[in-house]
Amino acid sequence: PGPLAYHSAVYDPQAKRMIVFGGSANLRETTDSVWSLNLKKGGESWVKIEFPVSPGPRAAQSTAYDSRSHRMVVFGGCAKNLKACLYSNDLWELDLKLGAETWSAETGAGTPPGERESAMVFSQTDGDLVVIGGFNAKGYMKDAWVFERKKKAWLPMETPLSARCCASYHEAAKGSVLFGGNDRRAFFQDTWWSNGKDFKEIREPSMPQARAFSRLVPTGEPNMYFLFGGQSPGGAMGDFWVLKLK
């Protein structure tokens, strides 16, 4: 793919590949390119996937993998140009069927979340999609929304999280785990588990320093996740942590 920033990626467990979408190569113009990285041992290679229809160029979008439908879900982002961001609130899904990948736009009843980038987005075990926080020209956001699949409708929801963007999150243990993020004044180190309805704060004697833009990835062991890097008040970080959910 070449250099990219503010892109998104998910792991496709059925095809054992990583899917990378969007981003920017020069921190100005954005792209709508989709790349697949084969992760099978001995066959590691990049392939660009072409589409007649796509969400359009964007960066800083929010992405989740929906294991129920075997799709990558994309919400919002910064369209066209990072230096003159056009914030979006559209919802797209990429069917990851190998050799037949297809983009489709999702629309629903009710008022959708406002335009934003860098929100936390995760798919619940029942296939519903949760959107929390993010950032747009008006500032940092704390509102939360659920897209109910069966009703095809957006509904507002309550969370205990403060306004923030740029947190780390990943599907986990019949829900999702969320860590950190930042607002205009501070970086955060709080950690939460949620099934999209209930939120439980995870407190440990030893926790990572407050940060944003870090990454949570599964270790391959049940309910265990790696956390690496991020940005803190002191700059970029290179530390490495393991989170074990009880």
pLDDT of residue 206: 93
Answer yes or no: is pLDDT of 155 > 80. Answer: yes
- pLDDT, averaged across the chain: 93
- Regarding pTM above 0.85, the answer is yes
- Provide mean pLDDT across the span 99-107: 96
What's the pLDDT band for 149 if we cut at 50, 70, 90?
confident
CB atoms within 10 A of CB 64: 24
Separation CA 187–CA 132 (nearest Å): 17
What's the pLDDT band for 122 if we cut at 50, 70, 90?
confident
Name the nearest CA neighbour of 8 among 49, 65, 60, 52. 60
Work out the percent of the chain whose per-residue pLDDT is above 90: 81
Assigned token pair, 181: 């993020």
Answer yes or no: is pLDDT of 174 > 90. Answer: no
Answer yes or no: is pLDDT of 173 > 70. Answer: no
pLDDT of residue 87: 97
**Which residue intervals of 49-199 are DSSP H helices?**
none
What's the pLDDT band for 100 if we cut at 50, 70, 90?
very high
- Provide mean pLDDT across the span 26-37: 95
The residue whose two tokens read 């509102």 is 143
- Provide mean pLDDT across the span 170-192: 90
Using CA atoms, how far residue 149 sits from 9, 118, 154, 212, in Å, is: 23, 22, 9, 30
Answer yes or no: is pLDDT of 157 > 70. Answer: yes
Q: Are 199 and 161 in contact (CB under 8 A)?
A: yes
pLDDT of residue 184: 93
Answer yes or no: is pLDDT of 127 > 90. Answer: no
Answer yes or no: is pLDDT of 243 > 70. Answer: yes
Of 116 and 217, the one with more pLDDT: 116
Answer yes or no: is pLDDT of 106 > 90. Answer: yes
pLDDT of residue 131: 95
Separation CA 83–CA 194 (nearest Å): 34
- Provide mean pLDDT across the span 40-65: 95
What's the pLDDT band for 197 if we cut at 50, 70, 90?
confident
pLDDT of residue 40: 93
